[in-house]
Amino acid sequence: MVHWIRTAIVLLLVASAVSACGESAGPERSDWLDLPPDLSTSPDAVVVVGTGTCSMRNEGFEEADGVFLVTERFVCEDVMSDARVTGTHEFVAMTKYVDETTGGIWTTQEGTITTEEGTWRGPAWGVVDLSGVLPFAEGVIPFNYGEGLYVGEGTYEGLEYHWYVTGSNSQSGLTGWIRNAER
């Protein structure tokens, strides 16, 4: 639940920042940049963008009292603007559908990105749109929106990779940042 609240706050702050772009932003107008420490990117953060191309395999389906739980294994090749997060991304998504016509909520306990130099691990969560009407879905069904927070291992120890994803089960756009872990 905290992740959803944090994501909503980030989206509201981004919307506020975008609307402030049309105003005269002098030194007195920098308050929108003062994000809480757990939401802001630190000065050492490196912004990354890229794409993911995925294959997916169904691993299970359960139904009880009108609630559906679908388990799917994804293997993606992420090609990013930073080699530290370019590699094979594997995770098992568990999606809970209450209404099979509109969408559901997905989570993964642990995803892994394996690169030439090291590994990233962590949880991810998001929503899936089965109606194809949400922004940027443009009729693509299913369409996923998600977020993950991975911690580096090996060469990447001491770093964290915070990422966002939108796209279908086979093609996605990714953005996020790599920074020193503040734990």
Concatenating the DSSP letter of every residue in 125-183 gives EEEEESSS-STTTTT-SSEEEEEEEEEEEETTTTEEEEEEEEE-SSEEEEEEEEEE---
Summarize pLDDT for 85-138 with one digit per residue, the tens: 999 999 999 999 887 777 888 898 899 999 999 999 999 999 988 877 766 667
Greatest CA span in the chain, whole angstroms? 57
SS3 label, residue 137: coil
Residue 59 sits in the same domain as residue 33: no
SS3 label, residue 16: helix
Full-model pTM: 0.74
Q: Do 77 and 53 contact (CB within 8 A), yes or no?
A: yes
Summarize pLDDT for 23-49 with one digit per residue, the tens: 444 344 344 444 444 445 467 889 999
Residue 94 sits in the same domain as residue 176: yes
Summarize pLDDT for 167-180 with one digit per residue, the tens: 988 999 999 999 99
Residue 61 sits in the same domain as residue 27: no
Q: In which domain, by residue range, is 96 found?
A: 42-180
Residue 51 sits in the same domain as residue 129: yes
In the prediction, which pLDDT does 42 show? 66
Query: In the numeric block, which tokens belong to residue 97?
Result: 């559908």
